[in-house]
Each structure stands twice: as C-alpha cells, then as structure tokens.
A and B are shown apart, each in its own frame.
Chain A
Amino acid sequence: MSVKRLTNLIRSSGRIAEPAPPAPPLFPGAEVFGGSVQVRFINAGSGNDCALEVQSAFGPVYDVERYGIRLVASPRHADVLVITGAVTRNLIEPLHRTIDATPTPRFVIAVGDCAITGGVFAAGYGVAGPVSDFVHVDLSVPGNPPEPAVIVAALRRMTGR
C-alpha cells in the first residue's frame, strides 16, 4: 500500500473505533490496578469461537486498549487471565502453571459458556471440566460465544475506565 493511499484511507475513514459506552462499575479489588490492566489470554480447549471474539475485542472497532487494557505475551506481566473453552486434559497442568506464574493480585475471567459450564463439549472424552473446577474464577462472561461488547464490558470492570 502506498503511503499516499494509506494517508487518504486514514483521513477518509478517520477513527475506526466506535464511541465508548459509559464505564461499568469497578470490580471490587481491582482498585490496585489503577486503570492499567495487562491481559494474558489462555485457550484451555475452546472451539476458537470465543477466541475470535476476544480477538475482535482487541481489534480497532471495539478497541479495548483505549481503556488501558493490553494483551501481553507472558503471565508474569499479566493482571487478568482471560480463559476460553472447557479445560481439556492436556491443558490442566499448563493452566495451573500459568495461573501460578501470574503475580498477585490477579483475576481470572472465564469467557463463553464452554469455559463456564463445559457447554456442548462437557461430555467430550478429552474434556476434563469447566474452568471453575480447576481454578478460582472471578468473573464470568456468558454467551456462546459472547459478543465482543460484553467481553469489553467485563474487561472494563477491571480498569474502571
């Protein structure tokens, strides 16, 4: 893409991000973050539907980054762990280790019905159970999959912005 075309595109489309809805109430205990939350995303065994929705929450349209929320590459840097999907057997240990690797205070958000109850996969032979069977879940985002706006709202409860 030429520089000129890109400049024109930016000027004509301007801000892709949609206007911000009013801020939801702060999650109790998240005051310590002071408007800065780093998120580590864990796919514990989802069908990738919820993962796509989380991804679009971080995209330019919903732009969750404007509330001070950033995806990071390591749980050591994270404050909030976003988990999608029912926990499969092979991921029990990595899930535990990732939670343990996250410095406290930390919060866990389970995104999607699969993560909350196991959903349609609950009886699958490789599925060990919902996320809450293995780790303490602070916030649940129901939906199959949930809309990005709902995920954004849940994450905004962590920053209070």
Chain B
Amino acid sequence: MTGAAAIIIALVQLVLFVFLAPVLIGVIRQVRARLEGRAGSGIWQPWRDVRKLLAKNPVRAADSSWMLAAGPVTLLVSSLLLCALLPLVGTLPLPLIPSDLFVIVSVMLIGVVALALVGLDAGTAFGGMGSSRHMTVAALVEPTLLLAVYALSIPAGTSTLSLIVETRLENPAVIISPVSLLAMVALAIAIMAETSRLPVDNPSTHLELTMLHEAMVLEASGRDLAWLELGSWLKLAALLGLLANLIVPWGIVTDFSVLGVLVGVGTVTVKILLLGVVLSVGEVFLAKARLFRVPELLAGSFALGLLAVTASYLVA
C-alpha cells in the first residue's frame, strides 16, 4: 500500500518537476530582468526555447561520437531520477530504493559525468576547458555535499533524506539548531556550485574563457541541447526543492491522501519559486569568483560541514 502511494507520489513529482523546472528558470530570469530595469521575456520563455530546440535539425561534427547523442539523454535521465527519488512532494520512500543520501549524490554524478564527456567529445579547446573546470569543481564539491547531509542525518539517525525531512517536520527545533544552520549554509554553497550558479559560474556569460557549464554545451544543438538544458534545469529545481524542504518542511506529504498530495504540490511549487526569486535577487549582487578562488570558497564550506558533523557528535 505504501509502495503504491510512494510510486504515485514519485510520478506526481516527475510530472510536476518537468513542468516546473523551465518555469523556475523563467522566474529566475524574469526577476533578474526586472531588477536590471528590463521588461523580461516572461516566465514561459524557457518552455518556448525547449519546444523550438526540439523542432530544429541538430548539427553534429563528423568526428564526434555517440556520446554527443547519448550524453544529453543520460543527463536528463539522471535528473529525472533525482526528481523521482528526492523528498519533494512527499516523504514516502520508494520500496527497495529509499532516497539514500549517497545514492542521490551518485545519481547526480552520473549527470555530471555525462555532461563532462559531452564537453570532451566536442573535440574543441573550449569543450575540454569547460569539462575540466566542471569536473574540478565537482570533485571539490563532493566532500562538502556529503558532509553537510551527513551532519543533517545525525539527528535523524539515518542517511535517508525523506526520514531526515520527516524528523525536521516532527521536531522543528532541529531546524534552527546551530549544527543544522552550519550544515545548511554548507549545503547551499555546494548546491550553488553543483548547479553552476554564481559565484562559481555565470549562467548568462557569453565569454568563453569565463565559462564552465556553457563551454561544455557550445557544440550541442537542437534536441541534444534541449536535453542538456532541461536536464540542468531539472537538477537545479530538484536540489532547490530539497533545500527548501530542509529549511521549511511544512506542507510535505507524509501520509498519502489526495488532498495531501495537492497541498504538497502547491507548497513545493511555492517554496521552489520563492527560493528561485531569492536566488535571482542574490545573484544580482554577486560577481563570478575567479576560477582559482572557487576552491577557497568550497574549502570554507567544507570546514563548515566538518564543524557541523563533529559538533553534533561532541556538543549535542
């Protein structure tokens, strides 16, 4: 019974996030445009972009391999898996594969690797450069990511993210404990780096030498590009959703009911879009950090994560 309910919730999450992720990007861009004094192209623009990309004839270089076609699909599937596994609308874990922290991170890394290989397969200097930087950042982010969620897992006594969220729902005092705050800051920095946002990467740059994510997709076109973009957006939406549910767990479904699912869908949509607005406003005030400053930033967040874990053992 809970198995069927969990599957329904996973399906709801998938459909919701496929719909929501482009809207989230639209909101982020729209808020940014407004803050810059522009009119903005509307929150549905990313949807139009994807639809158009699917209608175009992709161009591939003669020397590129199957990776240019398979990599984008892999990234998309890995992001879809994130959306199905993470506790976004509800915390009911899927049977046999709970939303285990390490599984989630590994699923995300599949997408990271697929994107990096697409960048390398382009056979250009920029593609390789983007891929190299992307992997360097990913390698340095991983310790922070794992430690931050490790710290969050200690009060719950499990590494299953849905149970962590449930614990925070039942015991809100945990949310504002110093350990949790430290871990949340570390996690937020890690997620910003992982999803190629400022200050690690500038998502709207046109200058190849400052690119991370963009440099890897320079040679992708048509549906290849559509899958890459959609995959990256889904990842951002899913991770922001996780962050939102960790900060404000209320509204998430713990016992299956139709009304509960509707409330869960509504609250998670509002939470993610609000977080998107916050992200966008924050980004207006941020400049991209130099590439070799990024490790310092990540080392800082790593220190926060480590502090959070050891503190929760030794202090609490």
Contacts and interface: CB of A to CB of B under 8 A. Distances in A.
| A and B in direct contact, judged by CB atoms within 8 A | yes
Given A76-B59, A76-B218, A101-B59, A10 B41 contact: no
A17 B37 contact: yes
A79 B56 contact: yes
A65 B39 CA distance: 8
Interface in A28-47: 32-36, 38
A74 B218 contact: yes
Interface stretch (B47-55, B92-100, B250-258): B47-55
Interface string A100-113: 01111100000000
Contacts, number: 91
What size tier do the contact residues of chain A reach?
35 or more
Nearest to A63: B38
B206 A63 contact: no
Nearest to A17: B39
Interface string A1-31: 0010010001001111100100000000000
A66 B225 contact: no
Interface string B175-203: 00000000000000000000000000000
Contacts of A66: 33, 38-42
A3 B39 contact: no
A35 B48 contact: yes
B35 interface: yes
Contacts of A32: 52, 55-56
Interface in A73-107: 73-74, 76-77, 79, 101-105
A102 B221 CA distance: 8
B38 A77 contact: no
A4 to B, nearest CB: 12
A35 B207 CA distance: 25
A72 B59 contact: no
A82 to B, nearest CB: 14
Nearest to A106: B56
A119 interface: no
Q: On chain B, which size bracket covers the interface?
A: 20 to 34
A65 B219 contact: no
A73 B52 contact: no
A71 interface: yes
Interface string B86-127: 000000000000000000000000000000000000000000
Given A68-B45, A79-B56, A3 B285 contact: yes
Nearest to B284: A6
Contacts of B220: 76-77
A51 to B, nearest CB: 14
A70 B214 CA distance: 15
A60 interface: yes
B52 to A, nearest CB: 5
Interface in B53-99: 55-59
Given A68-B45, A101-B59, A102-B59, A76 B37 contact: no
A14 B37 contact: yes
A65 B48 contact: no
Contacts of A14: 37
A13 to B, nearest CB: 6
B36 interface: yes
Interface string A114-136: 00000000000000000000000
Contacts of A35: 48
B207 to A, nearest CB: 8
A65 B52 contact: no
Interface of A: 3, 6, 10, 13-17, 20, 32-36, 38, 60, 63, 65-74, 76-77, 79, 101-105
Query: Top 4 A-B pairs ranked by shortest CB distance?
Result: A16-B37, A36-B48, A76-B221, A66-B39
29 contacts: A3-B285, A6-B285, A10-B37, A15-B38, A15-B39, A17-B37, A17-B38, A17-B39, A20-B39, A32-B56, A35-B48, A36-B45, A36-B52, A60-B36, A63-B38, A65-B33, A65-B40, A66-B40, A68-B41, A73-B211, A74-B218, A76-B225, A77-B217, A77-B220, A79-B52, A79-B56, A103-B58, A103-B59, A105-B57
